[in-house]
């Protein structure tokens, strides 16, 4: 059972995830993982809708002041959730996300680097794909800066706009826009370093 204040936070978080999915470049080989995130987001949104509907019905049912013990109320709530008709109010948004076509990696202007972290069972290999196209603005990267955490490169101006815009609307998530990036920190200009050599790659 979700409180209304928590519901607002989760809906805002869902909007942030959708925005991140829309802005993230989608490359060949990443479609399966991308679609999985879209499916999970839609399932989460559907569960939120069910909760809102059930809580509304419960409040109407007990509007006369009738009270129930907490365990009985929870049983009734769970039963109503199971029988509720699942429905997404944003199906058009998720359909649009699923219809995106992946981009091919350009062989002439791209390359790859591998950064290995940890050791033994904890070893993680991070594939860093270099592209001269800015993942945020879509144009050519003119003033490159690189993340100290994941090695991805962005254009300084569009990255700053991305960070300031998300902070202004108090977004919960504004992480690296590259698909499957393992860096889960919110973007911060303090985590960036100048990368002039990128223009010569």
Residue 156: what pLDDT?
92
The tokens describing 150, both together, are 């994941």
CA atoms within 13 A on the CB side of 181: 25
**How many CA atoms, within 13 angstroms, populate the side-chain half-sphere of residue 141?**
26
pTM listed for this prediction: 0.49
Which of the pair, 139 or 1, is modelled with greater confidence?
139
Residue 194, pLDDT above cutoff 90? yes
Number of residues that this document lists for the chain: 201
More confident residue, 38 or 130: 38
Nearest to 157 by CA among 167, 178, 135, 142: 142
Higher-scoring residue by pLDDT: 159, 105: 159
Range in 41-55, 74-88, 105-119, 122-136 with the lowest mean pLDDT = 105-119
pLDDT digits (tens, 9 = 90+) for 6-15: 677 777 788 8
Buried-exposed string 169-184: b where 16+ CB fall within 10 A, e elsewhere: eebeebbbbbbebebe
pLDDT digits (tens, 9 = 90+) for 135-167: 887 788 899 999 998 888 999 999 999 899 888
Residue 53 has a pLDDT of 82
Select from 9, 34, 11, 21 the least CA-distant residue to 174.
21
What is the average pLDDT value for the chain, to the nearest integer? Answer: 76
CB 51 within 8 A of CB 2: yes
b/e per residue 49-68 (b: at least 16 CB within 10 A): bbbeebbeebeeeeeeeeee
DSSP, res 188: -
pLDDT attached to residue 3: 55
Minimum mean pLDDT range among 50-64, 72-86, 98-112, 116-130: 116-130
What is the structure's pLDDT at 160? 92
Q: What DSSP character marks residue 173?
A: -
Residues 13, 45: contact at Cβ < 8 Å?
no
pLDDT value, residue 191: 93
Kindly report, residue by residue over 58-103, the tens digit of the pLDDT.
777 776 666 666 677 778 878 888 888 777 788 888 888 888 887 7
Q: Which residue has the tokens 């996300």?
A: 97
């Amino acid at each position: 059972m979700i409180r209304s204040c928590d519901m607002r936070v989760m809906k805002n978080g869902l909007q942030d995830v959708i925005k991140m999915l829309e802005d993230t470049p989608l490359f060949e080989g990443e479609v399966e993982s991308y679609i999985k995130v879209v499916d999970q987001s839609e399932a989460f949104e559907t569960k939120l809708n069910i909760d809102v509907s059930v809580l509304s019905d419960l409040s109407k049912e007990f509007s006369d002041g009738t009270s129930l013990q907490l365990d009985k109320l929870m049983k009734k709530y769970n039963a109503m959730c199971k029988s509720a008709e699942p429905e997404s109010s944003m199906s058009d948004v998720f359909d649009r996300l699923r219809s995106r076509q992946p981009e091919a990696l350009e062989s002439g202007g791209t390359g790859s680097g591998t950064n290995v972290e940890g050791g033994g069972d904890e070893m993680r290999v991070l594939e860093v794909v270099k592209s001269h196209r800015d993942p945020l603005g879509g144009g050519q990267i003119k003033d490159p800066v690189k993340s100290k955490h994941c090695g991805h490169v962005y254009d300084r101006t569009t990255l700053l706009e991305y960070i300031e815009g998300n902070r202004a609307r108090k977004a919960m998530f504004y992480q690296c826009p590259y698909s499957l990036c393992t860096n889960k920190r919110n973007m911060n200009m303090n985590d960036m370093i100048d990368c002039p050599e990128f223009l010569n790659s």
